[in-house]
C-alpha cells in the first residue's frame, strides 16, 4: 500500500515511516501540507496520514484541498496529531472528510491497529461521501477553522505565561 505522510517534525516523520514500513507500506514523505498536496497529485497514494499543525499549509487546509480535488477526494485521510486533539478539531476534520483523528503518541502496533480499522471501515462502508456543505460554504469553513486556531493560540499563550511566571519565581528564589 502506498501511504503519504505529511509531518513537519523530521523525527516524528521517521518514526511514522518505520511504523508503516514494518507493514510493507511504501511511504512518501512531505514536510507540510503544501508539499503533501503536490506529492499526492503525482503519486496518488492509497492513504494519507497527516499532522494537523504544520507550516505553509496545515493539516486542515491540506485535507480540504484533498477532498475538493476530483482526482484525490476518495483517498482515505487520517490525522495523527498531538496538538489538535480536542473534540472541536476532530469534528472539523470529520466534517471535511477525514476518516479518523488519531492522537499522538501511539505505540507502533496500537497505531497500526487504528489505521487498519480505518481502512477496513473504508472497505466495508465504501468511500466516505464528500462533505459538500463545508466545501461549498467557504465562510462556514473559515469560521470553524479560525475558532480552532485561535483557541490553540490562546492555549499556547497561557502556557508561555505560566512558564514565564514560574521562571521569574525561581529566579527570585535564588
pLDDT of residue 54: 85
pLDDT of the residue at 116: 92
Q: What residues have CB less than 8 Å from 139, skipping those under 6 apart?
A: none
Per-residue pLDDT of the chain (174 residues; tens, 9 = 90+): 999 999 999 999 999 999 999 999 999 999 999 999 999 999 999 999 999 888 888 888 899 899 889 899 999 999 998 765 566 777 777 877 889 888 888 898 999 999 999 888 887 665 554 555 545 565 565 556 655 665 666 666 777 788 888 777 777 766
Helix (H) or strand (E) holding 51: none
Query: What pLDDT is stored for residue 86 in this prediction?
Result: 62
Count helices and strands in the chain by DSSP H and E runs: 7, 5
Confidence at residue 11, expressed as pLDDT on a 0 to 100 scale: 93
CA 114, 152, 131, 45 dihedral sign is negative
pLDDT for position 53: 83
The residue ranges of every structural domain in the chain are 2-131
pLDDT of residue 64: 87
- The 10 Å Cβ neighbour count of residue 78 is 21
Orientation angle between helical segments 33-43 and 59-67, nearest 10 degrees: 30
Q: Return the CATH superfamily for domain 2-131.
A: Response regulator (3.40.50.2300)
Amino acid at each position: 500500500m502506498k501511504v503519504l505522510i505529511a509531518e513537519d517534525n523530521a523525527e516524528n516523520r521517521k518514526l511514522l515511516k518505520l511504523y508503516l514500513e514494518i507493514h510493507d507500506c511504501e511511504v512518501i514523505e512531505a514536510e507540510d501540507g503544501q508539499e503533501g498536496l503536490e506529492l499526492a497529485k503525482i503519486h496518488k497514494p492509497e492513504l494519507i496520514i497527516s499532522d494537523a499543525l504544520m507550516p505553509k499549509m496545515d493539516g486542515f487546509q491540506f485535507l480540504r484541498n484533498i477532498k475538493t480535488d476530483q482526482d484525490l477526494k476518495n483517498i482515505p485521510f487520517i490525522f495523527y496529531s498531538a496538538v489538535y486533539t480536542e473534540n472541536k478539531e476532530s469534528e472539523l476534520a470529520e466534517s471535511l472528510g477525514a476518516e479518523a483523528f488519531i492522537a499522538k503518541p501511539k505505540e507502533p502496533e496500537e497505531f497500526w491497529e487504528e489505521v487498519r480499522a480505518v481502512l477496513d471501515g473504508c472497505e466495508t462502508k465504501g468511500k466516505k461521501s464528500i462533505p459538500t456543505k463545508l466545501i461549498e460554504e467557504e465562510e462556514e469553513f473559515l469560521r470553524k477553522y479560525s475558532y480552532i486556531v485561535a483557541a490553540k493560540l490562546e492555549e499556547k499563550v497561557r502556557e508561555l505565561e505560566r512558564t514565564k511566571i514560574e521562571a521569574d519565581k525561581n529566579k527570585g528564589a535564588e
